[in-house]
Amino acid sequence: MGNQDEKTVAIVGGHNVTVFDQHQYDKTGYQPSDDNPELVASVDHNKIFRASYGTKLHYQRLALESREAWVGINKEQRDKDNGAEDLFVPCGMLRVQPTASLSQLEQETLANMTRDGLRDTQFVEGNFEDRERATKRGWGSKLLEFSIPDDPDGRSFEAVLDSLAGFTRCHKGCAYFHQVAEKVGVVFKFGPQQGSFDCLIEEQVSGGKKAVGLKTKDGQVHKADVVVIAAGSFSTQLLPDLSYHLESSAGSVATFKIGETDKQLWDKYSPERFPVITWKSAPRGKDGKDTGSVYVLPRTTEGFVKIGYRGLKFTNFRPAPEGTPFTQDGKWSIPLPPSECKSLPSFSSDAIREFVAIFLPEFKDVPFYSTKLCWYTDSLDNSFLIDYVPTYADRSVFVCTGGSGHGAKFMPVLGEHAADVFENGDESITPMRPFWRWREDLPRRNGLQEGPDGPRNIGEKAA
């Protein structure tokens, strides 16, 4: 990190430049395990890549910048090894609408795509010209049609095929960037002892408290001028000063497994033939928010078909440690231990089953191969939190977290924008700076206002 040449930096978490990580990725190569989910969002078979962001043009642009980078990595990998598996697969994404017409969010997305000259990459099923263009460009077979169950007029859901979208093999992305970082001299310390953050080492200075390093679980003290906390949904537990800004909540994930011998399903759900599909069901909740947002990705090379439900992201309220700056009834929402993350609340498994019946009919009565809760790091407004922590003097603590369920796609470019903020603070040139700043002036919203009495809490309710 250029201008910081004189300084030592210790980073906890984040894969691109991780120094300390409690997981043994050097041994596992970031391979996800369905038998033993590690609760780490990035270490997963695949994550959706999309640049469709409604009115959030800044994220649309960041996603397109990232797409270019992913495509470059694919090329680099193939140049080295002709048979290398792509890290980014542009298989397209079908945004199936709640009804037979386009939703408002979809109209906003299309308007922003038009504004950036990208409208021709989007194909609206109900639009004759779009369908023709899709066929001409080889996307016609992915413009799939799904009937609305019990519709008296026999209509189908409106849908938009996004040819810019697809998925990333995010665990392989982690392994790739691990190598990149090691090559430029980043030192990695993995494992539950030497890689696991225990606490910050602090000193009192005239401006207040200052971090001068960190201690790991093996008792070692590591001096550093700046400590970076990038520990995903665990970040608040490492640095309780984040407690106002972030909340951990669980997404529900289920898989089916297709055997290679089942040629019909193997081919049908391959990325060559099947797009990512997302769907927001109607009707919505009383507050107008969607309660039925579900997605599926094409099968992996191992045959896994992954389905995710994010209509309701479950919180787990537990007593917060003494001195935590922000709590709700003395509690905060943190990830459940791994052993309690292997089954899904019936609310989400029912929603996934409804989705399966419509979109993956062959699996209607097939038991799930695996299920797990996977933890989001939700922020006040769904934007990342990447900034110096003002409660520490001398810019001694920096945070890079708050992925809010959409961070994996940005893996190749996030570090560069974060490094700009790290080096230049308010003088940084990244257009993301205003969105990622420390923002305790914002009200607690985006679901973070609900607290332990909210409908999503699967942890402890208030006494």
Which residues are near ligand FAD by CB under 6 A?
A: 12-15, 20-23, 40-42, 47-48, 195-197, 230-234, 238, 251, 253, 308, 374-376, 401, 403, 405-409
Q: Which is nearer to ligand FAD, 96 or 134 (CB)?
A: 96
Q: How far is the CB of 345 from ligand FAD (least distance, A)?
A: 14
- Between 28 and 77, CB nearer to ligand FAD: 28
In the complex, what is the shortest distance from the CB of residue 207 to ligand FAD, in angstroms, rounded to a whole number?
27
How buried is residue 261: exposed, middle or buried, by Cβ count under 10 Å (0-12/13-18/19+)? exposed
Rounded to the nearest whole angstrom, what is the least distance from the CB of residue 310 to ligand FAD in the complex?
A: 7
Question: Helix, strand or coil for residue 99?
Answer: coil
Which residue, chain included where needed, has tokens 């019936």? 346
Total H helices, total E strands in the chain: 10, 22
Q: How far is the CB of 156 from ligand FAD (least distance, A)?
A: 25
Query: Rounded to an integer, what is the distance from CA 440 to the centroid of its chain?
Result: 23
Q: Least CB distance from residue 146 to ligand FAD, whole Å?
A: 20
**Residue ranges in 116-186 assigned as alpha helix (H):** 128-136, 170-183
State the nearest-atom distance from the C-beta of 41 to ligand FAD, in Å.
3
Question: Which is closer to ligand FAD, CB of 130 or CB of 372?
Answer: 372
φ, ψ for residue 52, nearest 5 deg: -85, 115
Choose between 279 and 376: whose C-beta lies nearer to ligand FAD.
376
| Amino acid at the residue 198 | D
Residue closer to ligand FAD by CB (options 176, 234) is 234
Phi, psi of 211, deg, nearest 5: -85, 135
Pick 134 or 403: Cβ nearer ligand FAD: 403
Q: 């906003």: which residue's tokens?
A: 108
- Least distance from ligand FAD to the Cβ atom of residue 249, Å: 8
Sheet of 246-257: strands edge to edge? 122-124, 159-162, 93-96, 276-280, 293-296, 304-315, 246-257, 370-379
Distance, in Å, from the CA atom of 20 to the CA atom of 222, rounded to the nearest integer, reads: 10
